[in-house]
Chain A
Amino acid sequence: MNEERDEYDPVYALAATSQGTLFAGRRSGLFRSGDGVAWASLPVDLLIGREPSITALAGAPAGDVVFAGGYGCVVRLTTGDMQQRVSVLPRPLPLVTALVVSPDYARDGVVLAGTAEDGVFRSTDRGERWTPWNIGLLDHHIIDLAISPMFAVDETVFAATETGVFFSINGGRSWRTSAFPSDNDPVQCLAVSSGLAYDVAVYAGTESGALLISRDQGRSWRTATGIATGGQPINALACVADTTLIIGLADRLLLIDDVLSPHPGVIREIHHPGITTLVGVAPTPGALVAIIGGADGRINRWRLR
């Protein structure tokens, strides 16, 4: 286990590029690591004063581009030469809480940004210009976004909000309400199975500790059975294989296998207080490593397989 400590410097977001480079968004700014152990600060000129906080991160699935979001702006970072391009979002300046990049980014250049009070912004020119697209979105408090791995075909995006999940089937330009159980419980995080095209599984973790699963591309949801969260908020989710899920609870980490079966198996359970975000990476075939960010500023690396 390795860690990076900094008091009052919570980790808001983590992202991994296809080349294996890791990025962490913290209150104190953007950090970069090659192995998840040693982290180096990356100075980012956010243009706008206040704090240099990076509150959202997303890497393009192929290539060396990472997007980082903060207060009122999104930074496009080319990891090879570390070039930065800052785009300011339309006024009133929103706080970016989530970012997703189209799996077909190289061709369509689509990036979506979820914000704390202003709904979803969409860019079709690799993050240069942003337009709010909130038609049908009845809750503008976006906590997380998830994008279909088949986005180039189905244009499906999911938005987690304080009152449930919304989904879009036109690339995030208009939104529909999901039939969501648990009385519109705030949804803290989303994860999409990489095999969405055939197993159609989307996962949502709620503030009250419920893990919800949708098998019809977000239209309806059911509560997953057999996963004991003890009512702890689910703060982070990562779907690493089609049916393997890493769940970041407020006090521990769960590795769940065969999550779609009626009796999913908890393979590992690791005590880890204050998880805020996580990302799953496979440094070698068959291996699985979880990089975990915490509210206390730690970034830990756990080998799960």
Chain B
Amino acid sequence: MTPPPADSVAAMIRPAPLRSDSKTNRDLLSVMQGAPLGYWLLLGTALLFMHIAGGIWVYQVYKGLGIAGYAHPVFWGVYIVTFVFWVGIAHAGTLISAILYLFRAKWRNAINRGAEAMTVFAVLTAAQFLGIHVGRMWKAYFILPYPNQRGLWVNFKSPLLWDTFAITTYATISILFLYVGLIPDLAIARDRATGWKKVLYTVLALGWQGSSGQWKAHNRSVLHLSGLATPLVLSVHSVVSWDFAVALVPGWHTTIFAPYFVAGAIFSGFAMVLTLMIPVRRIFGLEAYITDYHFENMSRFILLTSIIVGYAYAAEYFIAWYSGVEPEQTAFWLRAFGPYWISTWIMITCNGILPQLLWFKKLRTNVPFLFVLSVLINIGMWFERYVIIITGLSREYDPAVWGVYIPSWPEMGILAGSFGFFCTFFLIFLKLFPIVAIAEMKEISIHEKAHATEGVH
């Protein structure tokens, strides 16, 4: 018998090697390491768009709001449309994090971090548009009830003020939710990072060590934040919808607006999660964590909310006809066949008709198809807000004051810049923080391991 080669004998007498780090950690932390050229190109493009928009904004401050396309009677234009669009996008994050948490839908663990980050950046993007829209952004604090020499207070009966409270609360709670969820993952990163990143994570992880008292308080906090965020998310877009519904403009003054806007927000938010997570999964090879099952579940949500949104479109037209109110009927007739007919048909096609393809399982599991569809839904949802706001204002009660609004180049530039702003922050987040909640993925994998072991006994 030939003796075993010397090196294998050496391997036998050496002590067992230290157990390597958990595979989940290695896979998910690897997303944060290194940045290929493509990443820098994307980040550069996003930054470029953001700065161009910044330049346009400075120009607008210098010249005044006249450079926006506002023309009598339309004084709510692309800025407000884009504000509503981004607030809507922000809704999926909380829905996935909070509502699915309460329903104990464990599949959310793979996508909730990305969705929460998206929420925070979308709210921050949206909030800027209020300042851009009012023109003199430095007077934005007027909307807050602060003591002043004039002894005046804000008007709490105005939906715009409800909006202030809703949006600031939503931004605060979304940031807290994201951060609380991040703390255990920051500790994971802290234990493995070096250099300046170690300092960053050490500070942000707050000395987390996963002791029983910490997990107990953490669990309870996440549960309570979910319970609080669930009614909040439903209230925020309801309040945004009341900005319109409380006004007496034909096409706006309807009670259906709150549920219609909330469904639309969830619809567009899920589409945006798909738009972001499909490339992220592909580029960073996260197929083992974010599976087709996750995408299929999200497309089911998209299908459901698309049906609600489609029903709302139909109900609006039906009620306009059935009510017998002439301004209402005219407004809706002109939506579909008036000067803005292209926007209306884009909205109906992208939001009501195309998502019906998701009834087919083949298409629900076809990732390239989902990506294209999600982009189309984003476009459709932007046009939905455009249709509601612009057609409503341009065709009010008195035909003598009807007018046509055409978006100007500064407005479109700032709209493009908002995507740059959003993408810049999302791309930076991607490299600094775990985009998939590592501790929550382990919760699932360790449970599975425990069940498998118990099965053997």
Q: Do A and B bind each other?
A: no
